[in-house]
Amino acid sequence: MESVLVSACLRGVPCRFDGRAKAAAEVDAVLAGRAVVPFCPEAAGGLPTPRRPAELVGGDGHDVLDGTARVVDDTGRDVTAAFVDGAHRALAKARATGCAEAVLMPRSPSCGCGAVYDGSFSGELVPGDGVTAALLERNGVAVRRAPGV
């Protein structure tokens, strides 16, 4: 059976920054017939739940991995190290479980793919990927934005 890495919040785990989950029927349909591997890179990186909201500043997840951008919470605290650590743990989990694809939470500074918040905490989106999405992509894991959320 094909395995797929999935943002844990999409599987009903209350691990989002606000302590909630974000399950959706559309996600269930995409995952049907596959072995689901739920994973939260932010929790794996050592961040608590709930936690302060965080956004990418100075670029997207690719830029964070390259050392030219960072992840900060809404108080200005730099949480880049936790996001990078969580991304590496997600990649290790994907490799250990044979996941060639990941279905990730949209807009997240970790899991966002295609669009992320702009770092101003104003709700504005910009093109780009989260840290985990970027690391997975760089390592051959196909990243897909979760539908319906």
65-102 pLDDT per residue, tens: 999 999 999 999 999 999 999 999 999 999 999 999 99
Model confidence at 32, pLDDT cuts 50, 70, 90, reads: very high
DSSP state of 39: E
Tokens of 54: 């965080």
d(CA 96, CA 19): 27
Angle between helix 80-97 and helix 131-138 axes, rounded to 10 deg: 40
Query: How many domains are there within the chain?
Result: 1
Q: Which of 18, 81, 10 is nearest to 52 (CA)?
A: 18
Question: What is the reported pLDDT for 35?
Answer: 98
* pLDDT, average across residues 127-142: 98
Q: What is the mean pLDDT of the chain?
A: 97
Tokens 């900060």 sit on residue: 72
d(CA 30, CA 53): 28
Range of the domain at 89: 3-145
Question: What is the reported pLDDT for 113?
Answer: 95
Q: Which of 129, 104, 97 is nearest to 114 (CA)?
A: 129
The H or E element containing residue 82 is: helix 80-97
Residue spans of alpha helices (H) in 1-101: 25-31, 41-44, 61-66, 80-97
